[in-house]
Chain A
Amino acid sequence: MSPSDDATLMHRIARGDERAFDRFYERHKSTVYGLALNMLGEPATAEEATLDVFVQIWRHASEYNARHASPRTWLLAIARNKAIDRLRRGKVRPDLQQPQWADDPLTPLPAPGDLETDVADRDERRRVVRAVRELPEAQRQVLRLAYFQGYSHGQIAEALALPLGTVKTRIRAAMQQLKAALGAT
């Protein structure tokens, strides 16, 4: 474990280490802001959501559970939750553009780290993009509304004029396939 890997940073952040927090922010800000902007569509709201996310990290780093997920996975789960909170509060348009998984998620590169980390990072992003791309379009469409918009089964059924059972089946099938493709953690 290097002194600057995410798990170590998280540990230091939990103890109130501001330099570790700075480092963590620099490393992940574009990932978090990119996701928030994709989901929320407007920069001002995406900035607020990004602040929510990192404030939560600062205050609750000690709740991070290394057994369940990498710090980045946890961070992204928080980011999505914060963005969905804002969507559900209803102040944001969901229809200016459809949030979407990227064809190439790699612009801009992660903050300067060691080469090995960057390569691993790119590989992981590519695996996610590929796994999503390999889903049947019908499943991806349903998953997009669930993931980016936080729609319930009923809302998805209504938006796509599908039977409720079909929505549930597609979500389950998509998630099973992704789980198999992405493996654990």
Chain B
Amino acid sequence: MNSDCEHITDLLPSLALGILDADERQRIATHLAHCDRCRSEVQGYDAVVGRLGLGSPQIAPPAALKQRLLRRIMAPEAPRERQPFAWFSRLLVGWPRLAPIGMMAGLALAVFLGISNFYMWHQVRTSGSGSGLENVSLVYLHPTGAAPGASGTLLMFKEGGWGMLVVQGLPALAPEREYQLWLIQKGQRTSGGLFSVSAQGEAQLEVRSARPLAEFEAFGITIEPRGGSTGPTGKKVLGGHTRRADA
């Protein structure tokens, strides 16, 4: 809690309703990033907004809608299988060379799941390439003062515009905001995607880029309005460089 609370509190109901303009949202986001009291107040209003929908009449949709829904969720762009353990031991062997031991402990489970998922996808998409760990590189993202407990790892194949970001310990955001990953090259920042975190502060994001990810110099994550920004506007929570020396 601090002195801007009073001013911010007035806007929290409208934040939960999602009707603030970008300036107002930005101002509140900055405040919420470090104010637990206002964050929990927003959550209370979020719950009100959610429940207001219960006051709307219930109307059954046409029966055919379910078929359309099933077709849509079976669409090939959304494979959901997870079989992390087949890859688990294989990756474990490669790890000590890539990661300091202390780092591993904190991130281990989330990263394994992320890597395994990613690995499978990659295998599926580059059938027969037989990529091994020698083609994989990891970039560690270090926390800023805005998210002291956070950590992140970006896993990428050296040749591909493909990666998997795994983060831990990031604060959950109000629904009006999302985290945004930035791919940085010569001071230029390209969006690498948007994500939100689970109750435990974890998330995985599949990252795609037109150019190989390993060619970028650095990566950063900021808090942005939902839907993302064209360049970073909010607080930076994590960042890291490609060069091994920084890992």
Q: Mark B2-41, 1 if CB is under 8 A from A, else 0.
A: 0000000010011011111100000000000000000000
Please state if A151 and B60 are interface contacts (CB–CB under 8 Å): no
Task: State which of A55, A72, A81 has its C-beta within 8 Å of the C-beta of B73.
Answer: A55
Please state if B50 and A74 are interface contacts (CB–CB under 8 Å): yes
Please state if B54 and A128 are interface contacts (CB–CB under 8 Å): yes
Nearest CB of chain B from residue A95's CB, rounded to whole Å: 18
Q: Mark B78-95, 1 if CB is under 8 A from A, else 0.
A: 101110000000000000
Among the listed stretches B63-71, B123-131, B148-156, B233-241, which one makes contact with chain A, having 4 or more residues with CB under 8 Å of it?
Answer: B63-71
Please state if A54 and B61 are interface contacts (CB–CB under 8 Å): no
The verdict on B76 contacting chain A, using a C-beta distance below 8 Å, is no
Given that A55-B72, A153-B14 are known contacts, is A76 also in contact with B61, CB under 8 Å in the complex? no
Chain A residues 62 to 106 lying within 8 A of chain B, measured CB to CB, are 62-63, 65-70, 72-74, 76-77, 79-81, 84, 99, 101-102, 104-106
The verdict on B51 contacting chain A, using a C-beta distance below 8 Å, is yes
Docked Cα-Cα span, A107 to B66, in Å, equals 20
Given that A102-B56, A150-B18 are known contacts, is A69 also in contact with B50, CB under 8 Å in the complex? yes
The verdict on A30 contacting chain B, using a C-beta distance below 8 Å, is yes
A84 — nearest CB in chain B belongs to which residue? B18
Q: Which of B49, B50, B72, B196 has the most CB of A within 10 A?
A: B50
What are the residues of chain A within 8 A of B69 when measuring CB–CB?
A: 25, 51, 54-55
B53 — nearest CB in chain A belongs to which residue? A76
What are the residues of chain A within 8 A of B197 when measuring CB–CB?
A: 63
Please state if A152 and B61 are interface contacts (CB–CB under 8 Å): no
Task: State which of A29, A43, A105, A176 has its C-beta within 8 Å of the C-beta of B54.
Answer: A105
Nearest CB of chain B from residue A157's CB, rounded to whole Å: 12
Given that A47-B62, A74-B50, A185-B47 are known contacts, is A152 also in contact with B19, CB under 8 Å in the complex? yes
Chain A residues 19 to 56 lying within 8 A of chain B, measured CB to CB, are 21, 25, 29-31, 33-35, 37-39, 43, 46-47, 50-51, 54-55
What are the residues of chain B within 8 A of A69 when measuring CB–CB?
A: 43, 46-47, 50
Please state if B50 and A146 are interface contacts (CB–CB under 8 Å): no
Given that A76-B54, A105-B54, A172-B10 are known contacts, is A51 also in contact with B68, CB under 8 Å in the complex? yes
Q: Mark A170-185, 1 if CB is under 8 A from B, else 0.
A: 0110111011001011
Q: Is the interface of A mostly helix, strand, loop or mixed?
A: helix
Docked Cα-Cα span, A32 to B14, in Å, equals 22
Given that A105-B54, A153-B14 are known contacts, is A16 also in contact with B80, CB under 8 Å in the complex? yes
Docked Cα-Cα span, A89 to B18, in Å, equals 16
What are the residues of chain B within 8 A of A132 when measuring CB–CB?
A: 52, 55
The count of chain B contact residues (Cβ–Cβ below 8 Å) is: 46
The count of chain A contact residues (Cβ–Cβ below 8 Å) is: 71
Nearest CB of chain B from residue A170's CB, rounded to whole Å: 10
Chain A residues 151 to 167 lying within 8 A of chain B, measured CB to CB, are 151-154
Given that A16-B80, A171-B17 are known contacts, is A77 also in contact with B59, CB under 8 Å in the complex? no
The verdict on B58 contacting chain A, using a C-beta distance below 8 Å, is yes
Nearest CB of chain A from residue B154's CB, rounded to whole Å: 20
Nearest CB of chain B from residue A130's CB, rounded to whole Å: 9
Docked Cα-Cα span, A152 to B176, in Å, equals 14
Docked Cα-Cα span, A38 to B105, in Å, equals 50
What are the residues of chain A within 8 A of B44 when measuring CB–CB?
A: 179, 184
Sort A-B residue pairs by CB-CB distance and give the 4 closest, nearest first. A73-B50, A76-B53, A175-B13, A33-B61
Interface residues of chain B, those whose CB is within 8 Å of chain A, are 10, 13-14, 16-21, 43-62, 65-66, 68-69, 72-73, 78, 80-82, 172, 175, 196-199, 203
Interface residues of chain A, those whose CB is within 8 Å of chain B, are 15-16, 21, 25, 29-31, 33-35, 37-39, 43, 46-47, 50-51, 54-55, 58-59, 62-63, 65-70, 72-74, 76-77, 79-81, 84, 99, 101-102, 104-108, 110, 124-125, 128-129, 132, 146-147, 150-154, 168, 171-172, 174-176, 178-179, 182, 184-185
